[in-house]
A and B are shown apart, each in its own frame.
Chain A
Amino acid sequence: MDDKYWDEECETMPRGKLEQLQLRRLKKTLINVYENVKFYKEKLDESGVDPYNFKSLDEIEKIPFTTKDDLRVNYPFGLFAKPMNKVIRIHSSSGTTGNPVVDGYTKNDIAVWGSIVARQLYSVGVRESDIIQNSYGYGLFTGGLGLHYGGELLGSTVIPVSGGNTERQLKIMSDYSSTVICCTPSYSLYIAEVGRELGVDFSKLPLKLGVLGAEPWTDEMRREIEERLKIDAVDIYGLSEVMGPGVSLECLYKSGLHIAEDHFLAEIVDPKTGKKLPPGKHGEIVLTSLTKEAMPLLRYRTKDLSALNINTCKCGRTHARMAKPMGRADDMLIIRGVNVFPSQIEEVLMKIKDIEPHYLIVVERKNYLDNIEVWVEVSEDIFSEKMNGLENFESSIEHKLYSAIGIRMNVKLKEPKTIKRSIGKAKRVIDKRKGETL
């Protein structure tokens, strides 16, 4: 067995020492934004935080949050702390709901990002001899290049195949003997589905690991993916606002995602009041950059919901673990006054034997009442010539959803492939109340 750690000293650093490192780096970051970003200078002055006299991590609670709206108002480069001649890369979101969210990177930011991702890939057993099929989209989206630089720095072979063209993905996977696949969990399922149709036997392929992220997914979905592709599947988390993939990654114990705490300061706050919550409590993740140069963010409201665990992991790492994100605060549906997360529905569905891992949630208002439909595809595993077989299947799902979530949903049985497959982030909810259409 080779070394367990990429950087043992850092990965197993006692928390006291880690916090000292965070404080040093936070202070440097505060000075950088105070001197170079008008938006932050004003915010820090207003809240009475003196970057030159910042003494303890607890003081961070005095710093106001940064929100996505702040990023949009300062579009495109208003929050950059470095002049453009020091910025070597720009990434941004698609901007489907307004101005895109932009992030910039210095040469050092790109190097740091690569080293974080390399260290994380190493922690899940990826080595120089591995062949990484990187099926995240390359381009403005951070997924493709983020994993790419990390994999190369580690010394593995990176195949920059990007998303889409699933038959080619399968050919490459088989011909080039890929051992690792990086993509969204929903796309990994689609690859599995097309593979099954083409007669691919995944147990005979060298593929052993999936580094999956960019959308929330449940443990039940993980089991389905692992079973279908015959791999270990780990969750990678990140957001383009603070860097991209690599903010955190699960280790092979799959009991929370280790945050790269030497580069990010993570807090959990109550999404309503903004009050900081102690470890173990569920709330919204708030991230502060500790080493980012081009566009550091202070207390960024990610809207992702999770909880922190600061106990040392079985893998030996001391960096805090965040619970698998159950979704974004934005994803929460309010159905007849009840809060429902799509991930709760997924959890129920994926526990049902023989159900296909593709589903769609359709919400609309009929006669002033919220109505929620859950679309599920009928596979040959559950289909027979008996009508009551289907009716029982339908009503048993409805019953399970009701007992787990507490509201009535109508299950709609659909023909195979009716639900759109995704090569990137899956769209699981159509909310007609917001004008969305099928």
Chain B
Amino acid sequence: MPVKQLTVFLENKAGRLAEVARILKKQNINLQGFSTTEARDYGILRMLVSDVEKSRESLREAGFTTHVADVICVKVVDKPGELSNILDTLSAERINIDYVYVIAGTRIVLSVSDIKKAEDILLKNNIQLCN
């Protein structure tokens, strides 16, 4: 089953990421993991949080632009070669990965071209998905 990822638009200036963290802290929301990508003057923050709707609402209230998208979260066994196995499984089926990042608990978050297909293939190959 896909998980919901929350994305936030951030201008590239001091204190913006800190502001997001502060808002989540205030709402007692747990941040399971995140990644940032930066362009010339702005960046985007992608994250998995314990409560997507509550996080989104508080961030919107504070004036942030947000987006929620489906991604896949995969449990990776902490030993050599595991990431390679997962990626090979997907590429063998020509599934393209838009981005990937690591989150707490040796899990990775994947955005792929075809979520349903990717999930089926991963499950068929005994790779554990997380909710």
Question: Hey, which bits of chain A sit against chain B, CB under 8 A?
Answer: 378-380, 383-387, 390-391, 412-418
User: 1/0 contact trace for B4-42 toward A, CB 8 Å?
Assistant: 010101110000100000000000000000000101011
Q: Would you call A385 and B5 a contact (CB within 8 A)?
A: yes
Q: Would you call B67 and A380 a contact (CB within 8 A)?
A: yes
Q: Would you call A415 and B63 a contact (CB within 8 A)?
A: yes
For the complex formed, measure the closest distance between the CB of B76 and the CB atoms of chain A, giving whole angstroms.
Answer: 21
Which residues of chain B have C-beta atoms less than 8 A from A415's C-beta?
9-11, 16, 63-65
Q: Would you call A385 and B11 a contact (CB within 8 A)?
A: no
A416 to B16, CA, bound (A): 13
Is the C-beta of B46 less than 8 angstroms from some C-beta in chain A? yes
Total cross-chain contacts (CB, 8 A): 50
Is the C-beta of B44 less than 8 angstroms from some C-beta in chain A? yes
Q: Would you call B39 and A391 a contact (CB within 8 A)?
A: yes
Cβ-defined partner of B44 (8 Å) among A390, A417, A418 = A390
Is the C-beta of B98 less than 8 angstroms from some C-beta in chain A? yes
Q: Given that A415-B63, A415-B64, A415-B65 are known contacts, is A378 also in contact with B111, CB under 8 Å in the complex?
A: no
Is the C-beta of B66 less than 8 angstroms from some C-beta in chain A? yes
Question: Hey, which bits of chain B sit against chain A, CB under 8 A?
Answer: 5, 7, 9-11, 16, 37, 39, 41-42, 44, 46, 63-67, 69, 98, 111
Cβ-defined partner of B69 (8 Å) among A384, A391, A413, A416 = A384
Cβ-defined partner of A387 (8 Å) among B16, B37, B41 = B37
Given A378-B42, A384-B7, A415-B16, 12 more A-B residue pairs with CB atoms under 8 Å apart are: A378-B9, A378-B65, A380-B66, A383-B67, A385-B7, A385-B46, A387-B37, A390-B9, A390-B39, A390-B42, A413-B11, A417-B63
Which residues of chain B have C-beta atoms less than 8 A from A390's C-beta?
9, 39, 42, 44
Q: Would you call B65 and A385 a contact (CB within 8 A)?
A: no
Which residues of chain A have C-beta atoms less than 8 A from B37's C-beta?
387
A412 to B39, CA, bound (A): 11
For the complex formed, measure the closest distance between the CB of A372 and the CB atoms of chain B, giving whole angstroms.
Answer: 15
Q: Given that A387-B44, A415-B10 are known contacts, is A380 also in contact with B69, CB under 8 Å in the complex?
A: no
Q: Would you call B65 and A383 a contact (CB within 8 A)?
A: yes
Q: Kindly name the residue among A378, A387, A390 whose own CB sees the greatest number of chain B CB atoms within 10 A.
A: A387
Instruction: Determine chain B's interface SS by DSSP, over half rule.
Output: strand
Q: Would you call A384 and B67 a contact (CB within 8 A)?
A: yes
Which residues of chain B have C-beta atoms less than 8 A from A412's C-beta?
41
Q: Would you call B39 and A386 a contact (CB within 8 A)?
A: no
Which residues of chain B have C-beta atoms less than 8 A from A379's C-beta?
65
A43 to B28, CA, bound (A): 76
15 contacts between A and B (CB under 8 A): A380-B67, A383-B66, A383-B67, A385-B46, A387-B39, A413-B9, A413-B42, A415-B9, A415-B63, A415-B65, A416-B63, A416-B64, A416-B65, A417-B63, A418-B11
Which residues of chain B have C-beta atoms less than 8 A from A414's C-beta?
11, 42
Which residues of chain A have C-beta atoms less than 8 A from B9's C-beta?
378, 383, 390, 413, 415
A390 to B16, CA, bound (A): 18
A225 to B81, CA, bound (A): 58
Which residues of chain B have C-beta atoms less than 8 A from A384's C-beta?
7, 67, 69
A416 to B60, CA, bound (A): 10
Which residues of chain A have C-beta atoms less than 8 A from B39's C-beta?
387, 390-391
Q: Given that A378-B9, A414-B11, A415-B9 are known contacts, is A385 also in contact with B63, CB under 8 Å in the complex?
A: no
Q: Given that A385-B111, A390-B39, A415-B9 are known contacts, is A380 also in contact with B65, CB under 8 Å in the complex?
A: yes
Which residues of chain A have C-beta atoms less than 8 A from B11's C-beta?
413-415, 418
For the complex formed, measure the closest distance between the CB of B40 and the CB atoms of chain A, giving whole angstroms.
Answer: 8
CB-nearest residue of chain A to B38? A387
Which residues of chain A have C-beta atoms less than 8 A from B7's C-beta?
383-385
For the complex formed, measure the closest distance between the CB of A3 and the CB atoms of chain B, giving whole angstroms.
Answer: 49
Q: Kindly name the residue among A384, A414, A415, A416 whose own CB sees the greatest number of chain B CB atoms within 10 A.
A: A415
A381 to B10, CA, bound (A): 16
Q: Would you call A385 and B69 a contact (CB within 8 A)?
A: yes
A112 to B11, CA, bound (A): 52
For the complex formed, measure the closest distance between the CB of A362 and the CB atoms of chain B, giving whole angstroms.
Answer: 12
Which residues of chain A have C-beta atoms less than 8 A from B64's C-beta?
415-416
Which residues of chain A have C-beta atoms less than 8 A from B63's C-beta?
415-417
A387 to B67, CA, bound (A): 12
CB-nearest residue of chain B to A379? B65
Which residues of chain B have C-beta atoms less than 8 A from A383's C-beta?
7, 9, 65-67
Which residues of chain A have C-beta atoms less than 8 A from B65's C-beta?
378-380, 383, 415-416
Which residues of chain B have C-beta atoms less than 8 A from A417's C-beta?
63
A413 to B42, CA, bound (A): 7
Which residues of chain A have C-beta atoms less than 8 A from B66's C-beta?
380, 383
